[in-house]
Amino acid sequence: MPNQLESLRQFTTVVADTGDFEAIRIHRPTDATTNPSLILKAVQKEEYRHLLEKVVTDHGQRPASEIVDHLLVAFGREILQIVPGRVSTEVDARLSFDTQASIERAHQIIEIYERAGIPRERVLIKLASTWEGIQAAKILQAQGIRCNMTLLFALPQALACAQAKAQLISPFVGRIYDWYKKSAGEQWDEAANAGTADPGVKSVKQIYDYFKSYDIPTEIMGASFRNIGQIQALAGCDLLTISPELLAQLAASTDPLPRQLDPETSKAHAPEWMASNEVAFRSEMNQSAMATEKLAEGIRLFAADGIKLDALISTARQG
């Protein structure tokens, strides 16, 4: 009898959400995603310290921002030796409101990959789903650089990303769940908000139904999971990026895992078409306290870890 991870692979592309190479080898995902927090966590492990040291030795005289990108690419290159598909590498979150700077950093990352012999088709550039980040993606996609839109919490963001022809979006299931749970406080009923009733799951399903109903080619990758119930409820989503801990839980279970999301079912209940432009984006985001707060919080957290990476590199340069 197949385990749940094997069952999930039948209708969803499994992606590892980690910078830990050994975990990736164990679970054999198709793709892998990284972010500043995951790389910061990985690079502090003794077994990955050599990557930081080599990058500093080879590029220590370069500007700090370039050294960070070399480090991110060093992890990405190692990951691409393990996975058959793509790796996502993130533009510094501190550039989330600067379209031109985001484009320039994306070019820098792609150039480092290409100089190392990695074709751009195997790399997804991660950008925050701010209006400015989405406009950067629009330009990059037109230049043949594929983008993964992260920190996505609501349909208006998803629609703007689709209009920009982004390759992929990453709606954050767990962080949406976190917001509603915190907001409800003592009134939160875990059982009543589990599985398909989970607010994060419902948000991704709304996006999935819309995209499939209107044949929008942008890939949907659920991200940021807190438990395997959220993953089970999104079985059938285009892709799911999952932490090693939850991948292990899925692999340990042989309970049936039925498909929950299906394009034909979505089309049978097509939602109403919605306009997508800058005014609609900003107005509808402003109406969602959850999306507004989680987007801002996510940028702050990733930016803080970016600063910590800078400090690690600075210390390594001095050593």
Axis-axis angle for helices 49-59, 289-318 (nearest 10): 70
Report the Cα–Cα distance between both ends of the chain, in Å, rounded.
Answer: 53
Which SS3 state, helix, strand or coil, does residue 37 take?
helix
Q: Name the CA dihedral angle for 191, 192, 193, 195, rounded to a multiple of 10 degrees.
A: 70
DSSP-derived secondary structure letter, 10: T
Determine contact, residues 73/109, Cβ cutoff 8 Å. yes
> Phi/psi at 288 (nearest 5 deg)?
-105, 100
From the candidates 126, 138, 212, 294, which is the catalytic residue?
A: 126
Determine contact, residues 45/25, Cβ cutoff 8 Å. no
* Half-sphere exposure for 186 (CA within 13 Å, toward CB): 0
Question: CA-to-CA distance for 292 and 284, rounded, in angstroms?
Answer: 10
State yes or no: is 126 an active-site residue.
yes
List the alpha helices (DSSP H) in 28-130: 36-43, 49-59, 64-80, 99-115
Tell me the helix, strand and coil percentages in the chain, rounded to 5. 60, 10, 30
Sequential DSSP letters for 249-310: HHHH--S-------HHHHHHTPPPP---SHHHHHHHHHH-HHHHHHHHHHHHHHHHHHHHHH
Active site residues: 126
